[in-house]
Amino acid sequence: MKRIEIINGPNLNLLGRREPDVYGHRSFEDYLTELRQQYPDVELGYFQSNHEGDLIQRIHDVGFSYDGIILNAGAYTHTSIALHDAIKAVPAPAIEVHISNVHQREDFRHHSFISAACRGVICGFGLDSYRLAVEALIGRQ
Ligand code: DQA
């Protein structure tokens, strides 16, 4: 059974209530229940934190034993060299995910410090971006 960890960064605990015109009306917990049902043969772990160090620690904790990491680092995507280094420090492949199409948004969202450390990037498909990342990690793409 493949083990994949979904890691969400700052402000993503507010999904469903935060800027619903950009991020939708659904909570992540609600979406995750459905995602887990779609992949009964995959162990989908979930971790969210608003703190950069906690995200780094989680990457260290799962990155040596899990088969993959799906990382939506939120705004730390655009600021964090430390997250880049954490992804590179562990053998598990990471997929960078964004709900919104960051390239259609403000200029400061166009640069990612973590893309170069990741296996690939999926953005702009709403919450379905996470499912597409699962597909990429289980090799059915
Ligand atoms: C986001 C895009 C980021 O620019 C933003 O800071 C977020 C969410 C997304 O999923 O679209 O918090 O990562």
Q: How far apart are CA 139 and CA 104, in angstroms?
A: 29
**End-to-end C-alpha distance for the chain, whole angstroms:** 18
Q: Would you give per-residue pLDDT tens digits along the chain (141 residues)?
A: 899 999 999 999 999 999 999 999 999 999 999 999 999 999 999 999 999 999 999 999 999 999 999 999 999 999 999 999 999 999 999 999 999 999 999 999 999 999 999 999 999 999 999 999 999 999 864
pLDDT tens track for 33-50: 999 999 999 999 999 999
Residue 112's Cβ-count burial label (10 Å; 0-12, 13-18, 19+) is buried
Mutate to test the pocket of ligand 1, among 17, 31, 77 (most ligand atoms within 8 A of CB): 77
Mutate to test the pocket of ligand 1, among 98, 105, 122, 127 (most ligand atoms within 8 A of CB): 98
